[in-house]
Amino acid sequence: MGAECYTPKLLQEFLADIEDCTRSVQVWDRLVVLGRQLDLPSIDFITASSYSDWKKTLFVRTSYDSSWLNEANRDPEVSKWSYFRSHAMHHLTPILIGLEFVEEYMHLPARRVEVLRLAAQHGIRSGFSVPLRVHAPPQAGLITFSGNHARKEMLAIVKAHGWTLNVAALAAHQRYMTHFAAEFFERNKITNKQRALLEKVGLGLQDKQIAVDLGVSVSALRQRMHKLMLKTGLSNRAEVAALAMSTGLLPDPQHGIDPDAANLLVQMGVSGDATDIPPSVYIEP
């Protein structure tokens, strides 16, 4: 549509591409292609499963061989000063990173600055980092586009393509995590029977009712539950229910699950006061 053509062409093409992706790896591949198109070939993507505990890392992806960082990452005093842990865990503002911008960041210990010098030697002299968020379950993340650019060159890239990079990172993160969650069953070899059990527990049903619904005995059901917990590393029923929601088997409980709910929350005015009104009253402008 013509109404779609007012974003930068590169961004529009990127969003259309990831809209058609059906796997998380496809989203990642497209993100790397975008970085290369803008001469920012070194892409980092990191997420953690909690805002408060960065040690619970879900995954790290890089478009380059990052093994030279292994030694530095083993030093907790160096690791805690990563841009993810020192900035993205707490803020939403994109930042320019790397040796070229070290004087514009918060004070870093000498050992961390040495890591930035080492990164520059590996072609990561400067970059653009976008903090990321998911609210349920709480997750923080960071996507960084980097290249071997002096400060002036990097500023020119950001001036020309900063909007594209920011929106692309946010959209790619959302799309990637949607597929990543759905692929949980495949990664952990969850059977269809275990998946059905997971959904029933997530709905809050008790063992006797679940057994009836699935056509098995209560004893067989509990054996199935035990195997599911072993496979997923979960330890109690509450964690199983939380997993059912986080993998997309269940809707967000804040939004309710009653398809015949009569009211819609509509907020009007500066004060943000909420009023429950019939949905037929509200027509989108």
pLDDT in tens, 236-263: 888 888 888 777 777 666 665 555 555 5
- Domain assignment present for residue 108? The answer is yes
Both 52 and 67 in one domain: the answer is yes
The mean pLDDT value of the chain amounts to 85
Inter-residue contact 249 to 202 (CB < 8 Å):
yes
Among candidate residues 159, 182, 205, the one where a domain is terminated: 182
Claim to verify: residue 237 and residue 110 sit in the same structural domain: no
- Looking up tokens 């013509």, which residue turns up? 2
Based on the domain organization, do 191 and 103 belong to the same domain?
no
Residue 270 falls within a domain, yes or no? no
169 and 192 share one domain: no
Q: Which domain holds residue 241?
A: 186-253
Taking only the tens place, the pLDDT of each residue in 121-171 is 999 999 999 999 877 667 889 999 999 999 999 999 999 999 999 999 999
Distance, in Å, from the CA atom of 181 to the CA atom of 186, rounded to the nearest integer, reads: 10
CA nearest to 116, candidates 177, 9, 108, 150 = 108
Same domain as 123, residue 245: no
Based on the fold, state whether residues 206 and 96 are members of the same structural domain: no
Based on the fold, state whether residues 10 and 150 are members of the same structural domain. Answer: yes
Taking only the tens place, the pLDDT of each residue in 8-30 is 999 999 999 999 999 999 999 99
Domain count, the chain: 2
Single out the residue in 182, 205, 234 at which a domain terminates: 182
Supply the pLDDT for residue 62.
94
* Residue 260 maps to a domain: no
User: Residue 184 — very low, low, confident or very high, per pLDDT cuts 50/70/90?
Assistant: confident
